[in-house]
Amino acid sequence: MNEQLQNISTNELYERLEDPEIKIVDVRPVDAYNGWKLHNEVRGGHIKGARNISAKWMNYIEWIEIIESKEIKPEHTLIVYGYEEEQTVKIARQFLRAGYPNVRVYNGFIDEWSPNTNLPIEYLPNYRQSVPPGWLHDLLLQKRVPGYSNNKFVLCHAHYQNRADYEKGHIPGAIDIDTNLLESSKTWDRRSPDELKKVFESLGISHDTTVILYGRFSHPNNDDPFPGSSAGQLAAFRCAFIMMYAGVKDVRVLNGGMQSWLDEGYETTTEEGGKHPAGDFGVPIPSRPEFAVDLPEAKEMLKADDGNLVCMRSWPEYIGEVSGYNYIAKKGRIPGAVFADCGSDAYHMENYRNLDHTTREYHEIEKAWAKVGITPDKHNAFYCGTGWRGSEAFFNAYLMGWPRISVFDGGWFAWSADESNPYETGIPKR
């Protein structure tokens, strides 16, 4: 088996980059793949065309399914690379044992590939807004973090009507933020500019504050209002969207939420984080009104050639088997909306997450969207039932640097409430 495991040189790898029989496998953490320089490499990102299979995932029982979902097959020649040679070789051998006979190892990423600007590297355009736990840990310890100099930051533990989730343990220094502070508990739409201004100032957030948000993935036996769901991290994305719409310039989300922090072995606390009211927010709210679409504009977008209403709901919701919510009676979909399949139900986004709850490889999201006509040249307004899943999709598009993106804030809730609005059920006809 050891004889089958050969190294590949930088020159040979470069020459074979476009070879369809080659699959390059990046086993570093997803944040390194996205662009973070976790080992002080000269250039962040990944080798052009590489697929991300974090070494962490190789301990999951589902790891073969992950590989198959990335269209990596036993007949391909696999080139495995990472940060540390020992770990890279270990993963390569795991591929061999799993029935992938053609596996080679590349150990020159940090010393040869990253420093050479003639060798192609790809990265997530706005990767800095999706932060790794190590970056946050250093920031909280007041260590110098590369590329960041703002001494005004607020860390928020997001939840919906569940302060107990915060009280049972949170990241040190975090304050809690209930989504009800930023959106109406009746319509689920973002609150008025005056209301948002008061809330932000009471939390110590101004337009030039860096805000880092995260939530907890709840387990089935937890006392979360949505047990077993990803509601906590969805709440973080929901708050992120509203803050960006309002005008906070630097909004970031902890990639993978609380789970990523725990996976790194970092401590939590039950000690209350201090809320320090700020002065004036500093800019008019909303400063980015284009980030939000309401019902009239949503109707116009359905008629436009360069616009998409993107449905971030589950298939049962889309075909009208369920409404998705106990407070929405009508079942069905908006005619003309583009289906982008969030996952299993109204409280999950597993089709956009890895098993460790980090955001799915962005190339995969972009490819899936392109198949149904969701492309960066169009104005894409993401929606779901009430805006939460739509907010996560919006943030994904923002990370990818898409120029015209919005959340249709009212979503199916607002659309279905008006009896004059058309709707469809059943499987769409081709």
Mean pLDDT of 126-130: 98
Q: State the pLDDT confidence band at 143, using cuts at 50, 70 and 90.
A: confident
What is the structure's pLDDT at 220? Answer: 43
Q: Is residue 380 over pLDDT 90? A: yes
Percentage of residues in the chain with pLDDT exceeding 90?
Answer: 90
Q: State the pLDDT confidence band at 138, using cuts at 50, 70 and 90.
A: very high
Residues belonging to the active site: 384
Identify the structural domains of the chain with CATH numbers, from first to last.
Answer: 2-123 (3.40.250.10), 128-263 (3.40.250.10), 289-417 (3.40.250.10)
- The predicted model scores a pTM of 0.96
What is the structure's pLDDT at 218? Answer: 62
Q: State the pLDDT confidence band at 229, using cuts at 50, 70 and 90.
A: very low
229-233, 236-240, 251-255, 300-304: least confidently modelled range:
229-233
Q: Degrees (nearest 5) of the Cα angle 415, 420, 423?
A: 55
Q: Is residue 227 over pLDDT 80? A: no
Distance of CA 186 to the CA centre of its chain: 27
Q: Phi then psi for 55, rounded to 5 degrees?
A: -55, -30
Q: Is residue 269 over pLDDT 70? A: yes
41-45, 216-220, 291-295, 406-410: least confidently modelled range:
216-220
Q: Is residue 225 over pLDDT 50? A: no
**105-116: per-residue pLDDT in tens?**
999 999 999 999
Q: Which residues of 344-380 are buried (b: 16+ CB within 10 A; e: fewer)?
A: ebbbbbebbbbebbbbbbbbbbbeebeeeebeeebbb
Mean pLDDT of 130-150: 91
What is the structure's pLDDT at 112? Answer: 98
**162-201: per-residue pLDDT in tens?**
999 999 999 999 999 999 999 998 899 999 999 999 999 9
Residue among 377, 375, 380 nearest 365 (CA): 375
Mean pLDDT of 324-347: 94
Q: How crowded is residue 161: how many other Cβ atoms within 10 Å of its Cβ? A: 13
| Strand order from edge to edge, sheet including 22-26 | 6-7, 103-106, 77-81, 22-26, 51-52
- Beta carbons of 128 and 252 less than 8 angstroms apart: yes
Mean pLDDT for all residues in the chain? 94
What is the structure's pLDDT at 356? Answer: 93
What is the structure's pLDDT at 376? Answer: 98
Q: Is residue 34 over pLDDT 50? A: yes
